[in-house]
Amino acid sequence: MKEKIVYWITGSQTLYGDDVLQHVAKHSEEMVRYITDRMPVTVKYLTTCKNSDEAEAAVKQINNDDDCIGVITWCHTFSPAKMWIRGLRKLQKPLCHFATQYNKELPYSSIDMDFMNENQSAHGDREFAYILARLRLPHKVVVGHYTDERALRVLYDWCIAAAGYAFSEKVKVCRFSDNMRDVAVTEGDKVEAHIKFGWQVDYYPIAELVDYIGRTTDGQIDELMKEYAKKYDMCTDNIGAVREQAKYEIAIERFLKENGGYIGFVDHFGTLNGLRQLPGLAVQDLQAKSYGFGPEGDWKISALGAVMCYMAGQKCTGLMEDYTYDLTRGTVLGAHMLEVSPQFAKDKPRIEVHPLSIGGKEDPARLVFEGIASPEAIAVSMVDMGNGMRLIIQQIELVPYPKKMPNLPVGSLMWKYKSGFDDGVAAWLYAGGAHHTVVSSVVTLGQMLDIASMWNIETVVLNEKTDLRELNGQLALNDNIQSK
């Protein structure tokens, strides 16, 4: 992510003379040098804008630089905001308005009107913010001194979201199946997703993957089996079943790379013509390598998973499914029939082979593990409401398992809702949240809210502040706005 660039533009004007402008540039460079070392991306001072032509030229440079994922703006002095209109109307990348200041404390004993003219961010940032509001330009406001840790944490989150937004624009998902027959929530408008998020979602008959599987060599399988042996504990004598999964993994990865660079894919246990097992271990290991995955044809969760996995730096992020409750403890046991990412594993995952009671295929090899605990995590769902996509973000706590589950042959996670069990479940159901989610203990709520703002989509947050009556009012209001 450090290769990605966020440009910094300072706003000013010529009214105060060359000396002040030299100070403005010098201070801006000093601030950016401090900030860039503390960000996941590279922050570069671009220029100080003093008129419309300079603002427009800066925006064009930002738009045309493929490595640039966003822009941070700040006004050191006053900066008349009509000069920003022509440029900002052309801006095509996320904008963060950092309401900061060069000095931290007022120089009480020496302050005079020269100081006031040079250091009037409070004044200049209000003029600039008005024009952002007037243009209805989605943007982030971060407030605080540029060395303040809390402000930098908010800016850090915004940079992650901006990088995720740029990544999202190029996401391609390969569908080896349509959505499962009769299932509603995994459906959605693929053209709308392409327009809003940049997701290209393409279908290929499973027969084309079967060709790739047929061309996999023993040498390739041997190589991958060595990798499995390093990463996982082999807890089965049925090595043939494991080699079958290795074959699928090699074939799927080659297919995705050779057919245009897909970074996500879906399959469906009912569409496996030509495969002997449901891909389990194969899908799990591909998720460990950061590929997005959706079961039962769920392309939305595959794309969202790929984006969030990138934002998380490939840690503790992946597909999850709300499966069954422990009502005595108010917990949810999340799992899937096979395909849970080993990024969630508490200990070294075990490769095991067990029957699968669905699909009528041979016993598939899979990774089995208990999930991690984490005080902060999110479960995210995306649903198509007919008049637009809704992003639902539930704040959860990943909890340790109270007892062993020796007969559960899958990877799993266990969690509690920040809002408490009853309200957490009720809120999720009122919002129409799906059974498939992307869970992450690395991607933060702030990062998801920032990327949702960049996508400009309806967003619902569920946590300890959630009040069910207010939530239903908000959903009704959102619906009213969206349908206009």
* Sites of contact with Mn ion (CB under 5 A): 295, 321
Q: Of 76 and 175, which CB lies nearer to Mn ion in the complex structure? A: 175
Q: How far is the CB of 278 from Mn ion (least distance, A)?
A: 12
CB-neighbour burial class of residue 346 (10 A; exposed 0-12, middle 13-18, buried 19+): middle
Minimum CB distance to Mn ion, residue 183 (Å) = 9
Q: Which CB atom, from 335 or from 389, has the smaller least distance to Mn ion?
A: 335
- CA–CA dist 148, 459 (Å, integer): 28
**Contact predicate 242/225, CB 8 Å:** yes
| Least separation in angstroms between CB 436 and Mn ion | 6
Q: Which is nearer to Mn ion, 293 or 455 (CB)?
A: 293
Taking the least distance from each CB to Mn ion, the nearer of 321 and 384 is 321
User: Would you say 264 or 295 has its CB closer to Mn ion?
Assistant: 295
| In the complex, residue closest to Mn ion by CB | 295
- Of the candidates 342, 324, 343, 348, the one whose C-alpha atom is nearest the C-alpha of residue 334 is 324
As measured in angstroms, the least distance from the Cβ of 435 to Mn ion is 6
Q: How far is the CB of 370 from Mn ion (least distance, A)?
A: 20
**Euclidean distance between CA atoms 79 and 58, whole angstroms:** 15
Q: How far is the CB of 321 from Mn ion (least distance, A)?
A: 5
Q: Which is nearer to Mn ion, 232 or 269 (CB)?
A: 269
Choice between 321 and 423, CB closer to Mn ion: 321
CB of 336 to Mn ion, least distance (A): 6
